[in-house]
């Protein structure tokens, strides 16, 4: 097989997409793939298992040319890149491409697991929406079960962040503000310094991954319970997807479901992360009773309200898929 990916950038997204899919043989295709997360860290670990699973399958009708993580492409450009056919496949969270698909990060608010979404036909509804608005096939939902937490350097006794400044992302900005906190949006690479210098009093982040970034060195407390689910999707350019054979599409779908089943590993991984955090001296502030109920209810309701204010049509559609009985 030719090691060089034979593709030529031309005018027109369709031609670009076609050029990126290199037909190595009649029954094999190579997909140029990028990740919005650094390889070897917590968030992409199951996606890397997915890549390895395909690479080790001698009968696979597809091959993956993994070109890298943020060193190869800035994370906030990945969504546009897969949408426009600059790459064929991408591992990227919806929070990184809301300019292309407004309110996409409502996926974090789902009350259904990926398995339940598929069983009830809701996953197909999501795929239709992503196809219509972003020209991608939503192949797999990873990291479900990896919940977000608030991490602080000042103790609190109730769900009240008055006087505290937290580093946030759009996923939980509304929640932090509703709790009375001041929101500061900075790239992950700047958070360590912000914590070290006392520019922020804490941050929101999943239970997994703070050790990858070294943030445990400047973190005193984790607030429980966790809220929302992390969502990182595997997206395939729609033109690429349409030009695959039935066998290739079926194979990728089968491997996508296998990948989603790996979300079941998160319970054990979360417990190990909590143990490591405790060893690092991070204490737990756990809300119980009415405080717990109010904390969780506020987390979901204020985010749905914020999304509705900003993107009413998409939010209504997504809430029907993700939050209705």
Confidence grade of residue 11 (pLDDT, cut at 50, 70, 90): very low
Residue of 325 and 54 predicted with greater confidence:
54
39 with 117, same domain?
A: yes
Largest pairwise CA distance in the chain: 64
Yes or no: say if 69 and 234 are a contact pair by the CB < 8 Å rule: no
pLDDT of residue 18: 43
Compute the distance between CA of residue 106 and CA of residue 98 in angstroms, rounded to an integer.
10
Q: Indicate the DSSP class of residue 205.
A: E
- The answer to whether residues 193 and 154 belong to one domain is yes
Does residue 225 have a cis peptide bond before it, meaning omega lies within 30 degrees of 0? yes
| Predicted confidence band of residue 186 (pLDDT cuts 50, 70, 90) | confident
| Average pLDDT for 266-294 | 97
pLDDT score recorded for residue 195 = 97
Same domain for 194 and 126 = no
**How much is the average pLDDT of 155-166?**
97
CATH number at residue 209: 3.40.190.170
**Is 173 within 8 Å of 124 (Cβ atoms)?**
no
Q: Are 208 and 290 in the same domain?
A: yes
- Domain contains 190: yes
Same domain for 250 and 133: yes
1 located within any domain:
no
Same domain, 166 and 134: no
What's the number of domains the chain is made of?
Answer: 2
11 or 142, which is more confident: 142
212 and 253: one domain? no
pLDDT at 19: 42
Range of the domain at 306: 148-227+280-323
65: in domain:
yes
Whether the pLDDT of residue 23 is over 60: the answer is no
* Inter-residue contact 277 to 151 (CB < 8 Å): no
pLDDT at 89: 98
Residue 239 covered by a domain: yes
pLDDT for 138 = 98
Domain assignment present for residue 139? The answer is yes
Q: Are residues 56 and 194 in the same domain?
A: no
pLDDT above 50 for 9:
no
> pTM for the whole thing?
0.88
The bridge status of strand 28-35 relative to strand 89-92 is parallel
Judge if 291 and 158 occupy the same domain: yes
Query: How many helices and strands in the chain, by DSSP H and E?
Result: 13, 12
């Amino acid at each position: 097989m030719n090691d060089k990916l034979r593709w030529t950038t031309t005018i027109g997204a369709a031609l670009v997409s076609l050029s990126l899919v290199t037909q190595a043989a009649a029954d094999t295709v190579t997909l140029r793939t990028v990740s919005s997360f650094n390889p070897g860290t917590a968030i992409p670990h199951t996606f890397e298992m997915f890549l390895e699973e395909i690479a080790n399958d001698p009968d696979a009708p597809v091959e993956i040319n993994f070109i890298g993580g943020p060193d190869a492409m800035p994370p906030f450009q990945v969504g546009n890149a897969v949408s426009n056919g600059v790459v064929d496949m991408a591992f990227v969270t919806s929070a990184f491409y809301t300019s292309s698909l407004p309110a996409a990060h409502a996926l974090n608010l789902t009350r259904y697991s990926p398995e339940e979404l598929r069983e009830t036909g809701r996953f197909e509804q999501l795929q239709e929406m992503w196809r219509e608005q972003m020209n991608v096939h939503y192949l797999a939902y990873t990291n479900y079960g990896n919940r977000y937490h608030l991490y602080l350097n000042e103790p609190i006794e109730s769900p009240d962040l008055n006087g505290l400044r937290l580093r946030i992302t759009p996923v939980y900005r509304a929640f932090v503000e509703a709790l009375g906190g001041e929101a500061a949006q900075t790239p992950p690479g700047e958070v360590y310094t912000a914590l070290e210098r006392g520019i922020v009093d804490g941050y929101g982040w999943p239970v997994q991954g703070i050790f990858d970034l070294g943030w445990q060195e400047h973190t005193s407390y984790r607030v429980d319970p966790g809220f929302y689910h992390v969502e990182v999707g595997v997206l395939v350019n729609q033109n690429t997807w349409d030009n695959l054979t039935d066998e290739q599409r079926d194979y990728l779908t089968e491997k996508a479901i296998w990948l989603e089943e790996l979300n079941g590993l998160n319970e054990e991984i979360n417990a190990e992360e909590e143990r490591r955090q405790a060893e690092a001296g991070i204490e737990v502030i756990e809300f119980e009773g009415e405080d717990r109920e109010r904390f969780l209810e506020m987390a979901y309701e204020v985010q749905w309200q914020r999304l509705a204010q900003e993107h009413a049509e998409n939010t209504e559609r997504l809430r029907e898929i993700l939050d209705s009985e």
